[in-house]
Amino acid sequence: MIFQEEEPAPSSWVCYPFLKNGRIEFSNMNNKITFKDNPWKDGHRVLEFIWSGHINEAGLCRGIQSLINAPLHRAIMISPYSQDVGVGLNTSGTLDNTVLNLGFQNLYGVDEGYRNTYTVNYPYDNQKDVPIFWYANEMPNPLSTYHKEGAKVGYPISIHTSNMRELTFTAASIKDDKNNDVPYYLADRSTMPQSISADVILIPKEPLKSGTTYTVHFEGVGGGTKVTNDWSFTTQATQLSHIEFEFMNADIIVGEQKRFKLTAYYTDSTNEDITTKAQYVIDPVSKIELSNGSMIGKLAYDNIVVKATYQNKTAVMNIKVTGPNKPVINKFPVFNDIKDHWASLAIEWGTNEGVIDGYDDGSFKANKLVSEAEFITMLLRAYKISLQEDPVSTHWADKYYSFAKEYNFATSNKEDARDSFINRTSVAEIISGIDGVNKSGNEAIQYLLDKRYSNGKNSATVEGYAGSENLTRAEALQFIKNILENGLSQIKKRY
């Protein structure tokens, strides 16, 4: 059985377990395999599981956990009669492959264990930190009957007979901590007769809620014996899982500017661009310069290590700078009044992208308030919207307001209000509108918070968002940068 989490496994790699001189052995083609094995007695049955995906800092454990997450693979792994285990890892292909081999003297149990049927459940009773979702990419696929292959669903719940005798489903329910029923897909011998006989799998149709206790009730017949089980488990609270650079290795020419991206992944399946939030250490420090998601090659060097840290998670990117060593002019603008300003990276980004300009005296005036016309202008510049001048223009921002009218922006549409300061609630209405959503007031603010377009001013709540306060130049740039980095890649029409 193969569990494919991210991409197809490399076709050049094959690993077969077999018994030789009482020990588990591996045969392989083309790639190096490292593994740990244990003595085995002749006659043991060996079952193999393969996980294919990128191994991150969690290493081998991520591969093992991914196999446990896949319900058809899990069925044998939670059997009470496995006696030994062998683990293998191939790291030389396009993907890393984790191999797990379980050994059984008797897959069906021995003596009284065979005659007495009971069930093993997973997640088990009182288990904590249970994942909230699963991508149905297992082969064979337990959701193929429902045509939900690849779907993001709730974490699968397994009921498995102790001695591999047939298990027949009678009834089951899943309830959350408010006693609400959780709809689920049923996978058992009736839906997968070629793959399942001793198992019943309940797969919630939607991801579960974080930090919530769920209660499962199951009724069935196992090996001719009526089985009734009640148990509960608690899902994991949302937390940072890991951080990753968009690419782990990059080549850059001396004097060239290149973008990079760092993403934080959370256990509730959400992610966040943290390029401007992380701390970076460059070794050696003098060969490249980093600023606001851009790097510039300064001196040729074969292996520059960039280590990013965010909330105690780390990621590494390796940079190679090529080309003749020559003086590199600093491409990042420097203003005389933004040192140590909380939005300095957003300000650098905005001026580099032509969204906004500084002042002739070398200042930026980050805390200066912004009018509605100025904010809309900055927004459309950031999206590289090409506009024609209006020959009968009566206001400098007429061409931007013409576009805003066409796309039904949430603006005042009053001439005398264009040059009035815009408050943060109006910004929320405009941003939710360009995402194709027609919301106003607190609903627009909540939409921004839910989409991670804003983290609020004082806290990530409607109240902490401070909607009545007027917008500053720095806040305007941070808003626009946030929405671009969190998936609002194009302006949509509001209906």
Count of helices and strands (H, E) across the chain: 10, 28
Q: Which long-range contacts (CB under 8 A, 24 or more apart) does 9-13 make?
A: 9/50, 9/52, 9/93, 9/95, 9/97, 10/52, 10/93, 10/94, 10/95, 10/97, 12/93, 13/90, 13/93, 13/97
* CATH architecture of the domain with residue range 113-237: Sandwich (2.60)
Instruction: Quote the CA–CA distance of 97 and 310 in Å, as a whole number.
Output: 28
Dihedral pair phi/psi, residue 144, rounded to 5° = -65, -35
Write the DSSP assignment of 279-309 as a string of letters: EEEEESTTSEEEETTEEEE-S-EEEEEEEEE
Tokens of 118: 């009971």
The position carrying tokens 């991801």 is: 207
Instruction: Quote the CA–CA distance of 396 and 382 in Å, as a whole number.
Output: 18
Amino acid at 138: E
- pLDDT for 224 equals 87
**DSSP 3-state assignment of 115?**
helix
Strand partners, 288: 297
- pLDDT for 286 equals 79
Instruction: Quote the CA–CA distance of 95 and 10 in Å, as a whole number.
Output: 7
Write the DSSP assignment of 119-176 as a string of letters: EEEESPTTEEEE-SEEE--EES-TTGGGT-TT-EEEPPEEEEETT---EEEEEEEEE-
Specify whether the CB–CB gap between 208 and 217 falls below 8 A: no
Residues of the chain with CATH 2.60.40.3780: 113-237
Through-space distance between the first and last CA atoms of the chain, rounded to whole angstroms? 48
Residues of the chain with CATH 2.60.40.10: 240-322
The position carrying tokens 């996980």 is: 51
pLDDT (tens digit, 0 to 9) for every residue of the chain, 495 residues total? 333 333 322 222 223 333 333 333 333 322 222 333 344 444 445 555 555 554 444 456 667 777 889 898 888 788 777 767 777 776 665 556 777 777 766 655 554 444 567 889 999 999 999 999 998 988 889 999 999 998 989 999 999 987 778 899 999 999 999 999 999 999 999 998 887 888 999 999 999 999 999 999 999 998 888 999 999 999 999 889 899 998 889 999 888 888 899 999 988 778 888 998 888 999 887 788 887 788 888 888 988 999 999 998 999 999 999 987 655 444 555 688 888 888 888 888 888 888 998 888 888 999 999 999 999 999 999 988 877 776 677 788 888 888 888 888 877 666 777 889 999 999 999 999 999 999 999 999 999 998 888 888 888 889 989 999 999 999 999 999 989 888 888 898 887
- The CATH number that domain 240-322 falls under is 2.60.40.10
Cα dihedral 59, 64, 68, 74 in deg (nearest 10): 170
Model confidence pLDDT, tens digit, residues 445-491:
999 998 888 888 888 889 989 999 999 999 999 999 989 888 888 89
Model confidence pLDDT, tens digit, residues 273-304:
899 888 899 988 778 888 778 888 888 898 89
Please tell me whether the peptide bond between 140 and the residue prior to it is cis, using omega within 30 degrees of 0.
yes
